[in-house]
Structure 1
Amino acid sequence: MSPLTRRSGRQGGELGRLTRAEWTKFRSVRGWVAGMTAAALVIVLLGLLSASGDHASCAGAGGVEIACPAPPVGPDGTAVSDRFFFVHRQLRGDGVITARLTSMTGQIRKPDVTPGRRNVVAGVVPWAKAGVMIKDGTRQGSPYAAVMMTGAHGVRMQHDFTHDVAGLPGGVSERSPRWLRLTRSGDTLTGYESADGTRWTRIGTATPAGLPRTVRIGVFAASPGDLTVMRGDLGGSGAAVRFAEATGVFDQVTVRGDTSGDWRDDDVGATVDPDGSVHHPGRASRSGGAFSVTGVGDIAPAVEGPTAERPLGGAPAALVLVIVVSVMFATAEYRHGLIRLTLLAGPRRGLTLPAKALALGLVTFAAALPAIAVTFAAGGRILRANGNAVLPVSLPTEVRVVAGLAALFALAAVLALALGALLRSSVAAVITAVVAIVVPHVVATTSILPDSAARWLLRVTPAAGFAVQQTVPAYPHVLSHDAPSAGFYPLPPWGGLAVAAGYAALALGLAAFRLHRRDA
């Protein structure tokens, strides 16, 4: 065995011994154990209380209030919006659809200027869509691929709701039509576009999950609502979505392959009012080989609605208790003059603070993990029982939220411990930790700050770690108010947690440096 290996082994054994000693020290103080237990109870109690008071209902037949229906899910289990008008026919096996889009128009409901008079203007929203599609029937959430013209993002090829490939930019008009083509060969669908119907540009390919041999093929139109972001008096923002529809006019529509049946019209995902009528129906007409298709709704991931992490709103309050306990775990030895005894018990001074941090981090993680898991699971069931249509998430996402938030609690504990050892003042360390971790999250997510300032705070402070609990991502091809006040964080989940880990490591390193130079 080399000297380096022996030295590493001795240090590992020494760290383990010191960590056990710090754990014994922690559990011997009832106040610290009670504080960590109280933090876990705060997570559970505040979360379940919030979920119990959160009720929702939707209008059913005859005006009777019923639980809101769960959103449809796509092939990968993602909650989706699947509402559009589809003119289609049956296709067996391989085939091709080609259509020339000659215009794309629409109308948008704007805020009323004159009371009692509807303010409807001509126009299309940025992600309005009109194009060609191959889809597994007309069931909401079924796999599909489509090539489309959008209101402001040029030609796109999308499939299975979450996948989006950009084609050429620009718009469409009678003087400058756009040709769209979608081909199927086996399990592969390929999208093309052309300005003249002769020279074609390939956009991309797709393999929709589970697409059967017999599908529906045709032209479609859809339009999500018009999103308006409103600024508050204090600088925050809110969003409102108003009705919008889009109309695509197609001609020279050809379908090659084993087709059967006449063209059919379907208002896929149409909402039916209590009186049995369709709310904002789509429509289509055919004249001389031209198709005019008008649709509302969207074909995209669903990002609006109660999210699975909603019951975890008590986490910031619980973090305050964790911070207090963690700071006291560091400063108590300085306050009572016991730091010299601790250093004598572990002559390797460089291992003293890491051992204390490791013991505290493990204790915090072990206390937070079951509390978060219970709150996440039970709170979700309560929300659904109260009529809320909670957006579904996958099992890996659930595990990431529970384990990641528990890891954030552990990192916050280590950061607070390091601040206590660095500042050696309980009051100063608690205030600093709360201001660094809890306050940025609170002010960024409560519509107090402008969206840009809120996003900046959640990038550069330890509060970035809260991104680990976000279950619904912000998709670039979905128009939404993706601000912290709406539950969207500027960093990806693990990226945000890495920022919090970086702050904890930096503070621990500075505290260890000070401890190396001075005992008390």
Structure 2
Amino acid sequence: MTARLLHAEWTKFASVPAWVRATALAALMILLLPVTGLGGAPPDPSRPVPIGPDGEPVSAGLYFVHRPLAGDGSITVAVRSLRSEHAAAWSKAGLIVTAGSQPGARYAALMVTGGHGVRMQYDYVHDRAGSAATAGWLRLTRAGDTITGEESPDGTTWSPVATVRLPGLPGTVEAGLFVACPQHVDGVGTDTDAATAGFGTPLVTGAWPAADWTGEQRGDRTATFAGYPRGVAGGFAPSGDGFTVTGAGDLAPATRGDLATGAAAGDLLFGSFPALIVVVVVAVLMMTTEYRYGMIRSTLSAATGRVRVLAAKAVVLGGVTFATTLAAAAVALPLWLRLVRGLGVYVFPAPPGALLRAEAGTAAFLAVTAVLALAVGTVLRRSAAAVTTVVAAVVLPYLLALTPFMPPPVALWLTRVTPAAALAVQQTAIRYPQVDGLYTPAAGYYPLPPWAGFAVLCGYTAAALVLAAVALRRRDA
């Protein structure tokens, strides 16, 4: 492939006003057609979004049985049982030290879970694993800003789970027992759940003022609290030599399922979907037009090799598509983020690197799809058949995966094995392993990491280019 051949293909592209206008139209679609949150709206001011210590939205609901702890000290308790309405794997019962009563306050908690053993979690996003026990003794010890969690099968032999630091922890904290239970996935949606735990008598050391244990539901007036199942209420009551506690909610990062009115930055690139159809049509026509009007004969006879002609067309088409759509995405994403936030819609935070990857990834996705369409057009030589094939391979799986009533396993399969997997480059919502949720493409979560999904599209495109090269070399123009 020579500079002369590239210049010739660029000249052909630029000399067709319809192709140039269509390329500009694709860029304008990205710039002008965002969709905010697939239904995102300003949250109810009476139910604010709780924000964690690192600025992320969180779920901050639990039933808390507590007393104040002034200075250093420890609390030890036996967790005898834990059950939930729907056998939730992340139902939680244990001990917690928290900096305050406001949702989003710093905390460290040591817990038994319904299906993940003993865990120590702190500040919503951090999770440390202990043993696989489903019951046992737990101990939390405070020393300044440092919280240490230990577990024991019998209350005698202790094993450390984790030691964490909570910067800025006040001199007097709230500490005690807690129970939480997140929503459970129910088909294509979620439903409320609650858990009940049996505790022994809490044993305390340190400066605990003489007072009764007080119980209350925390976080029930926040946007991420789904409530209790019908007929179930939170509470605690003495039970033998301990307490029985029922609670709902969660202490964890919030997901799109927890905050239905929230938007993700990747949603604002939805204009790349109609842009994709325009790009596919232009890419197919770049090859099929030459067959239709017999220009392919002069193109191939003037070149030093047929495969080089295909490569030159792919480079020109991919380069033009990437440059124009990258410029559009780089302008659209920060612009619409500013406008949407100004309208009061909550947008899940994303680091600058994730935003840059979404912008560049969108342009790369469209450029590689254009090359895929070019290759398919070369093989089929019919515009309608080629456009239909590419749309069925890329657009249709994407639309089906976004359908709200599509079973999640099917939606995840479609965005794992088809070229639509590449849309993972637009994901800015974070999936946390310690949170069960409705992680589907419709909610902005893809089954593959961004560049792994992009690699799937590249694999299809490489295969199509090989077929196109073989077809171009073996048959008459």
CA distance in 1, matches of 2:182, 2:79: 22
CA distance in 1, matches of 2:172, 2:373: 59
Shift of 1:302: 0.5
Change (3 A) 1:17 1:214: farther
CA distance in 2, matches of 1:473, 1:488: 8
Change (3 A) 1:447 1:203: same
Change (3 A) 1:207 1:322: farther
Change (3 A) 1:214 1:261: farther
Shift of 1:432: 0.9
Q: Report the equivalent of 1:198.
A: 156
Task: Tell me whether 1:23 sits opposite 2:2 in the alignment.
Answer: no
Q: Report the equivalent of 2:120.
A: 157
Shift of 1:41: 2.4
2:365 is aligned, of 392, 396, 408, to 408
CA contact (8 A) 2:215 2:236 kept: yes
Q: Which amino acid aligns with 1:376?
A: L
2:412 is aligned, of 455, 460, 471, to 455
DSSP-derived class of the 1:58 partner: coil
CA contact (8 A) 2:181 2:247 kept: no
CA contact (8 A) 1:83 1:222 kept: no
1:301 is aligned, of 233, 253, 276, to 253
Q: Report the equivalent of 1:371.
A: 328
CA distance in 1, matches of 2:304, 2:222: 75
Shift of 1:298: 0.8
Q: Report the equivalent of 1:420.
A: 377
CA contact (8 A) 1:42 1:314 kept: yes
Q: Report the equivalent of 1:481.
A: 438
Change (3 A) 1:272 1:298: closer
CA contact (8 A) 2:71 2:144 kept: no
CA contact (8 A) 2:277 2:391 kept: yes
Q: Report the equivalent of 1:351.
A: 308
Mapping of residues 215-234 of structure 1, within 5 Å: 216=173, 218-227=175-184, 229-230=186-187
Task: Tell me whether 1:253 sits opposite 2:200 in the alignment.
Answer: no
Task: Tell me whether 1:84 sits opposite 2:62 in the alignment.
Answer: yes
Task: Tell me whether 1:140 sits opposite 2:107 in the alignment.
Answer: no
Shift of 1:517: 3.9
CA contact (8 A) 1:54 1:383 kept: no
DSSP-derived class of the 2:270 partner: helix
Shift of 1:284: 5.3
Q: Which amino acid aligns with 2:44?
A: C
Change (3 A) 1:371 1:169: same
CA distance in 2, matches of 1:311, 1:46: 8
CA distance in 1, matches of 2:298, 2:144: 74
- String of CA shifts for 1:245-293, please: whole Å, max 9, x gaps: 545524242345x7779677675434189xxxx9x98655679984555
Mapping of residues 41-80 of structure 1, within 5 Å: 41-47=28-34, 55-56=41-42, 58=44, 60=46, 69=48, 71-80=49-58
CA distance in 2, matches of 1:20, 1:194: 74
TM-score by length of 2: 0.84
DSSP-derived class of the 2:268 partner: helix
Task: Tell me whether 1:241 sits opposite 2:197 in the alignment.
Answer: no
DSSP-derived class of the 1:191 partner: strand
**Percent of aligned positions that are identical:** 43
Mapping of residues 255-274 of structure 1, within 5 Å: 255=205, 267-271=217-221
Larger mean CA deviation between 486-495 and 51-60 belongs to 51-60
CA contact (8 A) 1:224 1:297 kept: yes
CA contact (8 A) 1:54 1:386 kept: no
DSSP-derived class of the 1:193 partner: strand
Shift of 1:130: 1.6
Change (3 A) 1:368 1:260: farther
Q: Which amino acid aligns with 1:239?
A: G
CA contact (8 A) 1:97 1:217 kept: no
Q: Report the equivalent of 1:7.
A: none
Shift of 1:358: 2.0
CA distance in 2, matches of 1:407, 1:211: 44
CA contact (8 A) 1:220 1:295 kept: no
CA contact (8 A) 1:125 1:223 kept: no
Shift of 1:226: 4.1
Task: Tell me whether 1:36 sits opposite 2:15 in the alignment.
Answer: no
DSSP-derived class of the 1:496 partner: helix
CA distance in 2, matches of 1:409, 1:215: 56
Change (3 A) 1:207 1:501: farther
Q: Report the equivalent of 1:181.
A: 139
Q: Flag structure 1 segments of 5+ consecutive residues without an equivalent.
A: 1-10, 61-67, 109-122, 173-177, 231-237
Q: How many residues align?
A: 464
CA RMSD of aligned residues (A): 3.5
Q: Report the equivalent of 1:63.
A: none
TM-score by length of 1: 0.77
CA distance in 1, matches of 2:222, 2:398: 40
Q: Report the equivalent of 2:468.
A: 511
Shift of 1:96: 4.5
CA contact (8 A) 2:80 2:199 kept: yes
Q: Report the equivalent of 2:387.
A: 430
Change (3 A) 1:284 1:18: farther
